[in-house]
Structure 1
Amino acid sequence: MTPLPTATLGGDRKRSIEQITLLLFITIPFVALAAAVPLAWGWGVSWLDLGLMTFMYFLGCHGITIGFHRHFTHRSFKARRPLRIALAIAGSMAVEGPLVRWVADHRKHHKYSDAEGDPHSPWRFGETVPALMKGLWWAHIGWMFDEEQTPQHKYAPDLIRDPALRRISRQFWVWTLVSLLIPPVVGGLVTWSWTGALTAFFWGSLVRVALLHHVTWSINSICHAVGKRPFTSRDRSGNVWWLAVLSCGESWHNLHHADPTSARHGVMRGQIDSSARIIRWFEMLGWASDVRWPSANRVASRRRPAAGDGNSREVGTAETA
């Protein structure tokens, strides 16, 4: 065989002390960040800064959710070559690591989800409050500093074999620079001032990347510790509604682990999933094909018996994705 090129337990108890502790861990930083915007209004942030931050945030977020996650990792749909390249670049601009490494880590996570071998399970150290706090930190950030590396040739050989994708993965630092420089360049040109460039860099680059990182990491940590579990999965993945918009639909995590190849994660009425909506637009434009939309029967077959969440009949279909 031709060698590959070099590549780059918690229940549903409500208000338990474990859940309260975990929620405080993730909520307080977000509250502090939200408070920074009105406090800075008038001297440190402008509508242009917020516009750049929002645009760059959702560009990178959808690059990760649609590109790195649903397309490259789980093959939820097929993409025409130009879209495939665009998704790889957009995901790289989220500054969450090279494409091949990201996909390899995530595929390993699904293989061993919340069990021995999972790169970032919050249950790694046990179920006591101290153990959960340690595990949450590990799942959120700590695992990325672990010496153990996921073998990319084993978990992402398909991406390594693609010269264009391998190049984009190797050039991760280039897309990081592009991602960080777009806001200050636009801010400086629009305001024609160094101050405009500086504030755009702070909000559109630094704050945006920090927020996106913590939202993405929260899928690893908080969504495997708390949340409703209406679907049967072999791990502790849960749905966390208040992260749905910021995570572009990724926080409907229970269905994702119950049916990983589904192109839509928010399958119940009212579950916002902007990534699924955009994939639907790609399909309508002819840019995406063979989309694995969840049928009502497929979703129903994965429901947990007597889940008691009251949403048994509120299942979405491909037509409402």
Structure 2
Amino acid sequence: MSTQVESNVRRVDAAPQPMLAGEKSPAEMFLVKLFAVIPALALAAAVPPAWGWGLGWVDVGLVAFFYSLTCLGVTIGFHRYFTHGAFKATRALRITLAVLGSTAMQGPIIGWVADHRRHHAYADREGDPHSPWLFGTSARALAKGFWHAHMGWMFRRELTNAARFAPDLLTDPDIQRVNRWFPALTAGTLLAPALAGGLITWSWWGALTAFFWAGLVRVALLHHVTWSVNSICHMIGDRPFTARDKSANFRPPAILSMGESWHNSHHADPTCARHGVRRGQIDISARLIRVFEKLGWATNVRWPRPERLARNLRSTTS
């Protein structure tokens, strides 16, 4: 799969299919707004409870568990495996990663992958769905660009053409099935924490607080961490490697993003399984891929090679 995915990504600029496939339907636009706004409101409402009531150690544990599970589903599954083919996976692992990534509530897998491959094909140029540099370089333009890159782009009606950017997933029966399951998986990612909280505390209150914290707030937190890679990591940070865009390595969200914020390293070598390629750069996703490799679940892993790093390294770092 690695070779096929890499080939698809390399050919998108020359592909005969149009970049867009029409517009999102009114129902799709409603769901985008629902998934983006409701968890965000929950995150805003979380401040008062955090200072005195409604948050216990069970909730903290459930937040950490479900956040880690769904975040890794996106970083390892949707991003490094399905989008870039950084390794080959057994069928069981492939389906598991597709399901876990879907429970992050960032959209169905095929649309997510198509959008991200389009981002790499046109990074920080016209055609990139979420570049912060599309409106200019003045303070006002960058403020508008930040909003657009962070979450504003999702409210646009344009629909990325999956036939052009994700043809391999459109012909995969397992992935097609997971793609159709997205509404049910969305319900599951919100109800599972409530069920766990209720059973652990054996109370309806435990179910309610777990739904709020490990359901809504956890989804909102993961959304904004993911979106910060689109926005902040294309605006500020270090750029030690040569890339044709403004991607940057930004250390603060490295742990919460499971290694995704080493974004300049990623754009310099998109199919590499490790993004934190330099000493001291924590990349939890890469460590778990290494575990999968040792267990035999992942093969043909594209680990960073010294010659590739040396070739992409800038003569002077910024």
SS at match of 2:126: coil
The one-letter code of the counterpart of 1:250 is E
The equivalent of 1:36 in structure 2 is 47
The equivalent of 2:167 in structure 1 is 157
The equivalent of 2:152 in structure 1 is 142
Q: CA deviation at 1:36?
A: 3.2
SS at match of 2:163: helix
**Does residue 270 in structure 1 map to residue 304 in structure 2?**
no
Aligned mates of 1:227, 1:70 — CA distance in 2: 22
The equivalent of 1:120 in structure 2 is 130
Aligned mates of 2:199, 2:271 — CA distance in 1: 43
Q: CA deviation at 1:62?
A: 0.4
Which of 258, 264, 274 is the aligned partner of 2:268?
A: 258
CA displacement 1:67-109 (0-9 Å, x = unmatched): 0000000000000000000000000011100000000000000
Q: CA deviation at 1:167?
A: 1.0
Aligned mates of 2:210, 2:97 — CA distance in 1: 24
Which of 79, 102, 106 is the aligned partner of 2:89?
A: 79
SS at match of 1:149: strand
Aligned mates of 1:163, 1:41 — CA distance in 2: 48
Q: CA deviation at 1:41?
A: 5.2
Q: CA deviation at 1:42?
A: 5.0
The one-letter code of the counterpart of 1:302 is N
The equivalent of 1:218 in structure 2 is 228
- Segments of structure 2 that go 5 or more residues without pairing to the other structure are 1-20, 25-39
The equivalent of 2:75 in structure 1 is 65
Per the normalisation by structure 1, the TM-score is 0.84
Aligned residue runs from structure 1 range 1-321, under 5 A: 36=47, 40=50, 43-307=53-317
The equivalent of 1:21 in structure 2 is none
Q: CA deviation at 1:290?
A: 0.2
SS at match of 1:306: coil
CA displacement 1:201-256 (0-9 Å, x = unmatched): 11100110000000000000000011100000000000110010000000000010
The equivalent of 1:20 in structure 2 is none
CA displacement 1:235-278 (0-9 Å, x = unmatched): 00001100100000000000100000000000111100000000
Aligned mates of 1:203, 1:256 — CA distance in 2: 31
The one-letter code of the counterpart of 1:118 is D
Q: CA RMSD in A?
A: 1.8
Per the normalisation by structure 2, the TM-score is 0.85
- Segments of structure 1 that go 5 or more residues without pairing to the other structure are 1-5, 9-28, 309-321
Q: CA deviation at 1:119?
A: 0.3
Aligned mates of 1:135, 1:177 — CA distance in 2: 32
CA displacement 1:41-70 (0-9 Å, x = unmatched): 552101110110111001010000000000
The number of aligned residues is: 278
Aligned mates of 1:198, 1:41 — CA distance in 2: 18
SS at match of 1:248: coil
Aligned mates of 2:151, 2:72 — CA distance in 1: 21
CA displacement 1:9-61 (0-9 Å, x = unmatched): xxxxxxxxxxxxxxxxxxxx9xx97x938x62552101110110111001010
Aligned mates of 1:59, 1:191 — CA distance in 2: 22
Aligned mates of 1:36, 1:166 — CA distance in 2: 39
The one-letter code of the counterpart of 2:126 is E
